[in-house]
Structure 1
Amino acid sequence: MCGRYTVTPPAAALEARFEASFAESPAPPTYNAAPSQRLPVILNTDPGRIRLVQWGLVPGWVRDLQKAPRPINARAETLSEKPSFRTLLQRRRALVLADSFYEWQATDHGKVPHRILLASEEPFAFAGLWDEWLDRETGEVKPTFTIITTAPNSLMAPIHNRMPVLLPDRAAELAWLDDAVGAAAHQQLLQPHTARTMREYVVSPLVNSPAHNDPSVLVPAA
């Protein structure tokens, strides 16, 4: 599962790293990104733009927005089995920009939050899916996204039984966005990231609340 993450690099650094420009005023750094927030994403239909999109997928076929389930994650192994996800895998893929994520390890003393990032501390992209929901009363189009998860690597396995898909390099990111790449090749990209290029550490329980959205949540726990 992936239920919280960070996007702390300045806008200019994200634009340079992902070879795209913000389509609107960029959001400030986010130290505790949570579902329902609008967060930076690159859509396969517009790979040169970074857009702020709401986290929590609302499929276009949903009629009642209030009753929509809004999944924040989608399992890589079952994308092809679920018609709604299978269609999005073919037509609506996204890069979800980040530089770390949080996961909670179950222990005898309660759940302990960990921050997981690349050893280089560079930004990366989760593999995501997106869709648009049309408000038939107002005509407003509301894009949303979900993050794809996979089995854990050796770094993550002691912490949790799932991890988000971190695309390994720029070539994989471009392939994920490329409509000319077939569904089978897209599916092959959804693998656990190499553990030796990642690191993790325990952080304060402050991160448990999305209200705490400042650099203090990044500090290693005492």
Structure 2
Amino acid sequence: MCGRYASAKDPATLAAEFDAADAMGDAAPDLDYNVAPTKSVVTVVQRHPREADGTVDRSRTERTLRVMKWGLVPTWAKDASGGAKMINARSETAAEKPAFRKSLAERRCILPADGWFEWRRDKTSKQPFFTTPRDGSSLAMAGLWTTWRDKADPDAPVLITCAVLTTDAVGPLAEVHDRMPLLLGRDSWANWLDPDSTDVAGLLAPPSIDLVDGLEIRPVAQAVNSVRNNGPELLAPLEAEALDLDAPDLFSGRA
């Protein structure tokens, strides 16, 4: 699963990395080392632009950074309260679920991340781990998005929400948790984001072991457990003697 992650690169850096225009403006979220459900998050989308008269120009697409709320609220939902429970969508079943299937077909996005947090449990404790690219690049977490309108208040702004797709954990990541975000390699970004691409089944498989080999898994302090804590110290590796769990292979920092 993915219930907490870090997004601490500025919009200009993300725009360059994902070859996207920054369309967030003043709505851009602050740098966040402890992104939690229902927060506003940065996403990458690719859509056909509209002309001044509202006509969709299907001859071209634009890739942009957009702000969405993490926790998908289906268009048919009576209210927005259920979004906090729909932060993840299982890649294996998203095409079948009423809440996700239309978004999978038509509204896909990428959620850039410096890395994600996961908790490894034993009988008496939970140890948080942070998984991040060794080279400092951003992860591209596959996501779905949609829009929701409050029928009781036609003047209310449209709510744009998203969910992270998850998949079976690969290799040593399974030592921490059996699920992980669905990560997209750079060569998959264009097809995933293409609004005219209807066949993305091949991109829903767990990431390759080569991609996973480029990740570092490191134990971090319990401070990340509280969403009130937010700062680069949350990403700092714990010393071996501070670990509650016996995880020598993970602590070595090698995936």
Change (3 A) 1:108 1:84: closer
Larger Rg: 2
Percent identity, aligned pairs only?
Answer: 34
- Structure 1: 5+ residue runs without aligned partners? none
Given residue 165 of structure 1, which amino acid in structure 2 is its aligned partner? L
CA apart distance, 1:68 = 5.7
Matching residue of 2:115: 100
Given residue 45 of structure 2, which amino acid in structure 1 is its aligned partner? L
In 2, Cα distance between equivalents of 1:117 and 1:216: 15
Given residue 205 of structure 2, which amino acid in structure 1 is its aligned partner? Q
Q: Is the 8 A contact 1:35 1:55 kept in 2?
A: yes
Structure 2 counterparts to residues 104-143 of structure 1, below 5 A: 104-136=119-151, 137=153, 138-143=155-160
Count of aligned residue pairs for this structure pair: 219
Q: Is the 8 A contact 2:5 2:117 kept in 1?
A: yes
Change (3 A) 1:69 1:115: closer
Give the 3-state SS of the residue equivalent to 1:82 in structure 2.
coil
Matching residue of 1:178: 194
Matching residue of 2:251: none
More strand by share: 1
The TM-score, its normalising length taken from structure 2, stands at 0.81
Alpha-carbon displacement from aligned partner over 1:152-198 (angstroms, at most 9, x marks no partner): 100211100100011011x3111101123233xx1211232332111
2:10 corresponds to 1:10:
yes
Q: Is the 8 A contact 1:44 1:177 kept in 2?
A: yes
In 1, Cα distance between equivalents of 2:144 and 2:137: 22
CA apart distance, 1:49 = 1.7
Q: Is the 8 A contact 1:62 1:68 kept in 2?
A: no
In 2, Cα distance between equivalents of 1:61 and 1:52: 21
Q: Which runs of 4+ in 1 moved over 6 A?
A: none
Matching residue of 2:54: none
Q: Is the 8 A contact 2:71 2:83 kept in 1?
A: no
CA apart distance, 1:142 = 0.4
Aligned counterpart for 1:148 among listed residues 165, 185, 189:
165
CA apart distance, 1:69 = 6.2
Given residue 156 of structure 1, which amino acid in structure 2 is its aligned partner? L
Matching residue of 1:44: 46
Structure 2 counterparts to residues 27-106 of structure 1, below 5 A: 27-45=29-47, 47-66=62-81, 70-106=85-121
In 2, Cα distance between equivalents of 1:97 and 1:76: 18
In 2, Cα distance between equivalents of 1:62 and 1:32: 28
Q: Is the 8 A contact 1:92 1:130 kept in 2?
A: yes
CA apart distance, 1:84 = 2.9
CA apart distance, 1:105 = 0.4
In 2, Cα distance between equivalents of 1:67 and 1:9: 29
Give the 3-state SS of the residue equivalent to 2:110 in structure 1.
strand
Alpha-carbon displacement from aligned partner over 1:5-27 (angstroms, at most 9, x marks no partner): 01112222111001112221332
Give the 3-state SS of the residue equivalent to 1:80 in structure 2.
coil
Given residue 17 of structure 2, which amino acid in structure 1 is its aligned partner? R
CA apart distance, 1:70 = 4.1
